[in-house]
Chains A and B, each alone.
Chain A
């Protein structure tokens, strides 16, 4: 047999063996499911926080925030979504998640019961602890648990008051 024909046959056999493996790893299903799982996981956790702002931008950011009465926000949390707000209060409970995000419940001046504590998140750790009075600056958003929709604050800067 001509040498060139031999090489062509060997090459075809090699392609036949390689192709299914490559196809499996490059197939839409394989790739899309990997992406779905990782993006879902990230979406659920990243929904709750924003990146903190650089020190140089703090003054202008603070100036752009306004205080909104928590009880007013609770009536329609979605209508304040994305607005820059400042909320003050005493840290009632606090936790630092495995991913380094700080989450706290704040007793605000409007707090009268469990439902009227403000949920505040911060991407990173803070030097503050339970009982401290703070001012949190950030954007309003909402979450729902047990069909109850509530406002929360994705803070980008927190200071002691």
Chain B
């Protein structure tokens, strides 16, 4: 009887040790990755109509640089127009429309996302000298959901509550604003709106939901939880 009790206690202790080790590993893995705070390439893609099948053409990028305290130190907009990877070739069917270089705009077409994101990082590093540690791909549905979650934003006197792609196209074609300026104005409007703490929490909730639905993709894919569980997200929107 006594031996049986000792055995039960031993089994429980072993289980506790294994679980504690797993929890510690998870905690370390989630919270202390040195790559979180350095540099993130954000790719905004279109609604997928320009390149099918594909997550979408990479219409606009920007690089977010953070310091070791996860404060945003720099935000560099990148217009993909004309940027390409010299030593790579595009999908062969691109030749049909006269595309013979792997342009940043086309990096996510006909490839797995990890490879496409890697090519995008190489192009940005080659052309702009900006080395990035991770990539965040954002579909228009996610931008719309974020806008809806905060009740919309006012940009140049227009209230934008959803359909961000249409608004950005209109800014370019009707108001004759450059793509960089159009995206930047929306980005800063969202950032300003998030200064309101209730809007910020609604926005972070929307971001988490959009990530779960696949409208925000983070490469490497375990990084999202690291970003969410550290203070980066809050600081980004402050």
| A→B interface (CB under 8 Å) | 3, 7, 10-11, 13-14, 17-18, 20-21, 24, 28-30, 32-34, 36-37, 40-45, 47-48, 93-95, 103-105, 114-115, 117, 119, 143-150, 152
Residue ID in chain A nearest B16 by CB atoms: A14
Are B96 and A44 in contact, with the CB atoms below 8 A?
A: no
Are B99 and A145 in contact, with the CB atoms below 8 A?
A: yes
Are B26 and A117 in contact, with the CB atoms below 8 A?
A: no
Partner of B52, one of A36, A37, A115, A143: A143
Are B23 and A17 in contact, with the CB atoms below 8 A?
A: yes
Beta-carbon contacts under 8 Å, B55-113 to A: 55, 89, 91-99, 106, 109-113
**B177 at interface (Cβ–Cβ under 8 A)?**
no
**B174 at interface (Cβ–Cβ under 8 A)?**
no
Residue ID in chain A nearest B30 by CB atoms: A24
Q: Which 3 A-B pairs have the closest CB atoms?
A: A41-B112, A36-B214, A144-B52
Distance in Å: Cβ of B54 to nearest Cβ of chain A: 6
Distance in Å: Cβ of A107 to nearest Cβ of chain B: 12
Q: What are 29 A-B contacts defined by CB distance under 8 Å?
A: A11-B12, A17-B23, A28-B212, A29-B208, A33-B212, A33-B214, A33-B224, A36-B214, A37-B214, A37-B217, A40-B217, A41-B112, A41-B114, A42-B112, A93-B92, A93-B95, A95-B89, A95-B92, A103-B91, A114-B97, A115-B96, A117-B95, A119-B93, A119-B96, A143-B110, A144-B49, A145-B97, A150-B93, A150-B96
Are A105 and B95 in contact, with the CB atoms below 8 A?
A: yes
Are B93 and A143 in contact, with the CB atoms below 8 A?
A: yes
**B197 at interface (Cβ–Cβ under 8 A)?**
no
Are B53 and A29 in contact, with the CB atoms below 8 A?
A: no
Are B212 and A29 in contact, with the CB atoms below 8 A?
A: yes
Distance in Å: Cβ of A137 to nearest Cβ of chain B: 19
Residue ID in chain B nearest A43 by CB atoms: B53
Are A40 and B55 in contact, with the CB atoms below 8 A?
A: yes
Residue ID in chain A nearest B89 by CB atoms: A95
| B→A interface (CB under 8 Å) | 5, 8-9, 12, 15-16, 19-20, 22-23, 26, 49-55, 89, 91-99, 106, 109-114, 208, 211-214, 217, 221, 224-225
Q: Once A and B bind, how many residue pairs between them come within 8 Å at the CB atom?
A: 117
Partner of B94, one of A11, A18, A45, A145: A145
Would you call the interface of chain A mostly helix, strand, loop, or mixed?
A: helix
Q: Contacts of B224 on A, CB cut-off 8 Å? A: 33
Partner of A37, one of B16, B106, B113, B225: B113
Q: Contacts of B212 on A, CB cut-off 8 Å? A: 28-29, 32-33
Q: Contacts of A47 on B, CB cut-off 8 Å? A: 53
CA distance A103 to B229 in the complex (A): 43
Are B97 and A33 in contact, with the CB atoms below 8 A?
A: no
Are B92 and A119 in contact, with the CB atoms below 8 A?
A: yes
Are A145 and B96 in contact, with the CB atoms below 8 A?
A: yes
Q: Contacts of A32 on B, CB cut-off 8 Å? A: 212
Q: Contacts of B95 on A, CB cut-off 8 Å? A: 93, 105, 114, 117
Are B50 and A144 in contact, with the CB atoms below 8 A?
A: yes
CA distance A62 to B40 in the complex (A): 51
Distance in Å: Cβ of B218 to nearest Cβ of chain A: 9
Q: A33-B224, A43-B53, A143-B52 are in contact. List 10 more A-B contacts (CB 8 A).
A: A7-B8, A17-B20, A30-B225, A32-B212, A37-B221, A44-B112, A119-B93, A143-B53, A143-B93, A145-B109
